Amino acid sequence: MSENKPIKKFGAGAISASVWKNELKDGTEINAVTIERRYQNKDGDWQSTNNLRVNDLPRVALLAQKAYEFLVCGKHDEAKEVEE
C-alpha cells in the first residue's frame, strides 16, 4: 500500500498549500488543494488547522495562486516524476 503524499507543497510562514492527485472509482484522476496553518499548542506540540486569521489571508491568496499556476501550467506531471 502506498502512502498518500501531496504531489507538490507550497509554504509561506505558518501557512501551506498541498496539491493532491486523487483517483476516482472510475479511474478518473482529479486534483485537489488543501490549505492549512501550523501552530504550537499550549504544551508546545505542533498542530494543524484550517481556521485562518485575517493576517493569514494574503499568504493564502499567494499560495492558492501558486497552486493554481502549478496545476494549470501543466507542471504537475513533471513534479510527480521528480518527487517520486
Question: Domains of the chain: which residue ranges?
Answer: 8-79
Residue closest to 15 by CA, chosen among 35, 30, 1: 35
pTM of the model: 0.78
| Average pLDDT for 68-77 | 81
SS3 state of residue 58: helix
* Mean residue pLDDT across the chain: 88
Please report the pLDDT score of residue 6 as a whole number.
95
pLDDT tens, 16-54? Answer: 999 999 999 999 999 999 999 999 999 999 999 999 999
Mean pLDDT of 56-82: 83
